[in-house]
Structure 1
């Protein structure tokens, strides 16, 4: 059997989210296809794998009875659900940070393609995409120059994010109680709590978790425009952070971002639309401040990880 693609793995993880709520006890090919937005063929493949995993059992009428709920370890790892371009963005970020490449550094197109293990054409398309965001500038002889992030560019991006992401969290707070989003939100909250418990790794691991957090919110809220550029925005901004922060400052900002995220999650889970908007605005303002100048006065906050009173559990 061929190895499942990243698309199948994403859909399978979505199916696990779908069967996680206790209120869900039966499903069929059509209902699962609709729930996770896949074809009936893919839905059948997912159900076959769920049967093998002991999560569902086929009934005589070709429906499926849910017999077990998924745990965190039952999901495909996040890195296995990334598309080729998403994997390349991650590899590119690691590459330029490992080489300590700052603004003005030069990238040779052919050498970059070789180190990334991709064709010259794919390398050129990827670098061209970054140049549209002002991060790279095309130079003669198939070379590229790193530009960094200007204040004007950062202001422009933050205006767009404020417009889309503050309305996104308010929309999420209105979701139905049985929506699979709540399982996704709980799952990412646990990731935040794990990183908070091991904060010494925060400066390294926070960029990936930050991108995952914002992607989850924007995807669940249907913000397709911001989703189309979210990964590149995250990559560019976190690259910039590494060049203006000292190590202890990066750790302090990671702690602050974790606190912001937990507060946003709390507001969404309690279905407080206005508070969710305010907390997202505060989070983006903190991120903007960090881009404007090095955050020398930031102190590591005392992070609260209590579970909020969830109004969705009330009858």
Structure 2
């Protein structure tokens, strides 16, 4: 009986390895087919193409395409470190640019709140219009609830940017006293076993969470491609426009899109952080912070500069 159990476990492991490597091999074909047949998943006038997009957006096929791409780029970067540094600089520049642009939503949020207070308390108007030529008019409560969208933009699109700038709060238990190379090993381990799996898991949940508020019949993560293609016969767009109050903000589907974007940016930054940590581990302490594009703070602009404790 023990031999049978051992043989069964060995067979399961062997089957798992075969499945894993066969999916890696198939990822080259899947990527090539997707790039050469874009109408099969990007032609959204075709309901089947929409369902293919929904399915493949959080499918094992996409996972292995991304996994294999990162693996190939990592191997190339290990072989040619200057190539990996180029990818690190490019992805960090992308994250910094997105974050710096999205951060302006905080200023817009403050200015809009000031306008809302003036409209409500001074002019006693029930609605508010914005725009040039063709103004957009909504109830004041709509504009008030929309402020949450600006806050969500800052949170979702500035996470990776803040990570690049080293602005997240960190709880240090063993990191500070260890040697430089040990720190880089910890960074690589953290990005591979915490940051990337967390971003992947959040993407899998948020992807179908988004699409369940955009189309009907509602897609499910447990349904295969054949089942979703059958559902496509009855597909119609049903974008979520229900607010929490009668005249409140009515575009909450935008929050779902931001969640998906946030997961993508976190994943990209996880890969970038692994590459940077590897290069700094290999090249030594003199390479720490190499090519980092840190925000410059002038004298007197430091956070809490005038705070009293």
Using the size of structure 2 for normalisation, the TM-score is 0.29
The higher-RCO structure (CA 8 Å, 6+ apart) is 2
Using the size of structure 1 for normalisation, the TM-score is 0.29
> Is the radius of gyration larger for structure 1 or structure 2?
2
